[in-house]
Amino acid sequence: MDYNLPKLYKDYGEYSNYRNFPNSIDGLKPVERRVLLSAFKIAKNKFVKSRQVDAYTIGHYHPHGECYGTIVQLVRQGFLEGQGNFGTNIGVEPIGAAAPRYTECKLDQRTLDLAFKYINCVPWVTTELDDKEPFHLPTMFPICLMGKEYTQGIGFGFKTFIPCYRVNDLYQRLLWLLGKRKRKPTIIPITDCQITASKEDLEKLLTTGKAKIAIEGIIIENIRKNVAVLKSWPPGKRFESFLNKFSKELDTGLIGFSDLSVEETEIVFQVLRERNRDKIFRAFVKKLKKAVKGFISFETILVDENQNVTLKPIDDMLMDTYNMFQAVNEEMLNQEIANLDDVISEYNALELIREPLSYAISKNYDIPQTIEEVEKATVVSAEIIRMLIGKYRISKLLTLDTDTTELENKKNEFIENLKNLSDFVLEQYNG
């Protein structure tokens, strides 16, 4: 049999791309969504071993290899709460996480409120393991835009580098997109550096999804002590390669450094020579300031609902997620109204059958005869009578408060929210 190997390779690459890039609706890669779903299932209210969450994810949803790296990333991003050593990227040398048997995690309360409140109102699909998972989480903002670190991904012919923003900034931008705010807010990505890009470049990122953003690391100078504290440098550069630019000063003993980073980066450079200290310091700081200037090339490559790779503007991501969340709320309200209708109908039926049911009980009729007699005396079907007798104890059937006034009021409230759906949804964003 003849195989077209280049085509097969291309087809496999395109098929696997959906696992490497975030979904355009909720901003999550499949493995991230599956880890969060696993935490929702087994680590919603208590810490469990990270290995357990990893194993649950692999066993139920993601048979593509261990997921501990994703768990670590979600803890660092703030979407999972962690106990133990999950490592750090600050300072000179990144520190890796401890083994999964030594760490614990659980679903962060913010993630629970943000992405799982209406989990039963989204479409669910079958996984490779014949389990069920949500096609997307019902989040209010794309999750990849809300973390503490930029989202990265490499696939077949594409790579993605997605910024993250403060949630309130995303909300203000969304209000403008919805026409609820007149002045357009040009929001700025979260960074430990200083963004020096023009407003036009920042707008380009928001409106096209692709832009080169100028950035500078932060340096704190102490001229009197001839000390410079490096707080950050442009992402994507390892400290070793950054330090190579100062090999001459370090090798000749003009400058020394020490890493005092604890909760944030703090690398202290100081002049070691006594002669010409001020001159050496000024020259070094000038060179250091030049070295910490750079660019971040953002490109928001995502996977759409049809699993096609696409470049999506930040504005479109916000609107897509908002439209999804609005649809989810519409589904939720319709479900609540239907549930209340069922309860109201049930209470009305209970009210009708009580008197003949009480009479049948007093005559010591058996269940089939009781159902028959009650059906004859009312307009309630035998099927409903049988369901009610099976659902409630007889004593409760005869004493339950069947006043539907409160239920009707609640139903009318849901109906009113459905009529004013956009206002109801925005109230949740305000919260």
- Gyration radius of the chain over CA positions: 30
Closest CA to 184 of 194, 197, 169: 169
Closest CA to 270 of 225, 240, 232, 239: 225
Cβ proximity of 288 and 8 under 8 Å: no
Residue 102 known to be catalytic: yes
The HSE-up count of residue 71 (CA atoms within 13 Å, CB side) is: 36
Which positions ≥6 away from 123 have C-beta within 8 Å?
A: 134, 135
Q: Are strands 151-154 and 132-134 parallel, antiparallel or unpaired?
A: unpaired
Closest CA to 314 of 244, 213, 196, 420: 213
DSSP state of 97: P
- Out of 9, 12, 15, 102, the active site residue is 102
Cβ proximity of 168 and 190 under 8 Å: no
Query: Sign of torsion, CA 119 148 215 181?
Result: positive
Which positions ≥6 away from 261 have C-beta within 8 Å?
A: 90, 91, 92, 267
Catalytic residues: 102
